[in-house]
């Protein structure tokens, strides 16, 4: 069997109502989105990293290119599902690792565990995550790994898919996979309760303080 092409897709945009242009916010000397790309690049088994951005976010695209990040796919801002699907299709993904661009201290170790669980799953489940609402992993280390076939099915499920599914990308997958969703867990501790994703400026300061331990 041929080795599957694993494509990590990072979704990012400038139009956040709670924290406009947060992808470009400084995070220890570099734009936050660049820090996310650097963290994802630490996972060995990934074949390609792609940034999925809205059509009109030219400033974000220029910033990525300035940092020698060239795998960029544009898509609709409000239909993130289609944006992710376009990025996966253009780069011929067999397996997609989805990461959001507001996680500057994303865990390469956690991401690698989720990807490894998917690739080694003898049950061949098409969706794995470390669902940070219940896995013991802290918010801001979220990773989802799923097959391109499952992504394609959700993309074309127009008769049953909701607007919220298109915004949140994987809700349709999780509903339709049910107990065939795999999850990587860790022991609950004080870290489990931390919020390390960036939705507001105050979150950025919290993530920066945590990032001082790991950003070189």
Q: Is the pLDDT of residue 1 over 80?
A: no
pLDDT digits (tens, 9 = 90+) for 177-216: 988 999 999 999 999 999 999 999 999 999 999 999 887 6
Query: Is 133 buried (19+), middle (13-18) or exposed (0-12) by CB count in 10 A?
Result: exposed
Predicted model pTM: 0.96
**Percentage of the residues of the chain whose pLDDT score is greater than 90:** 90
List the strands of the sheet with 95-100, edge to edge: 72-75, 48-54, 6-11, 95-100, 144-147, 127-129, 181-183
pLDDT at site 215: 76
- What's the mean per-residue pLDDT of the chain? 95
Q: For residues 112 and 118, what is the distance between their CA atoms, to the nearest angstrom?
A: 10
pLDDT digits (tens, 9 = 90+) for 117-139: 999 999 999 999 999 999 999 99
pLDDT at site 159: 62
Domain ranges of the chain: 6-211
Helical packing angle, 148-155 and 80-90, nearest 10°: 140
Q: Is the pLDDT of residue 90 over 70?
A: yes
pLDDT digits (tens, 9 = 90+) for 146-167: 999 999 999 988 666 788 898 9
Q: For residues 144 and 83, what is the distance between their CA atoms, to the nearest angstrom?
A: 16
Q: Report domain 6-211's class.
A: alpha beta
């Amino acid at each position: 069997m041929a080795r599957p092409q694993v494509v990590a897709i990072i979704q990012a945009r400038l139009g956040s109502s709670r924290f406009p242009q947060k992808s470009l916010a400084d995070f220890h000397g570099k734009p936050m989105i660049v820090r996310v790309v650097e963290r994802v690049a630490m996972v060995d088994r990934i074949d390609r990293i792609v940034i999925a951005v809205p059509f009109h976010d030219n400033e974000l695209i220029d910033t990525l290119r300035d940092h020698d990040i060239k795998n960029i796919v544009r898509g609709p801002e409000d239909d993130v599902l289609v944006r992710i699907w376009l990025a996966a299709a253009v780069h011929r993904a067999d397996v997609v690792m989805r990461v959001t661009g507001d996680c500057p201290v994303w865990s390469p170790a956690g991401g690698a565990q989720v990807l490894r669980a998917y690739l080694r799953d003898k049950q061949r489940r098409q969706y794995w995550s470390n669902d940070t609402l219940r896995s013991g992993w802290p918010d801001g280390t979220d990773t989802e790994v799923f097959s391109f076939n499952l992504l394609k099915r959700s993309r074309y499920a127009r008769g049953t898919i909701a607007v919220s599914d298109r915004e949140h990308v994987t809700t349709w997958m999780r509903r339709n996979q049910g107990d065939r969703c795999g999850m990587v867990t860790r022991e609950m501790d004080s870290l489990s309760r931390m919020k390390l994703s960036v939705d507001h400026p105050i979150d950025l300061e919290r993530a920066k303080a945590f990032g001082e331990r790991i950003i070189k």
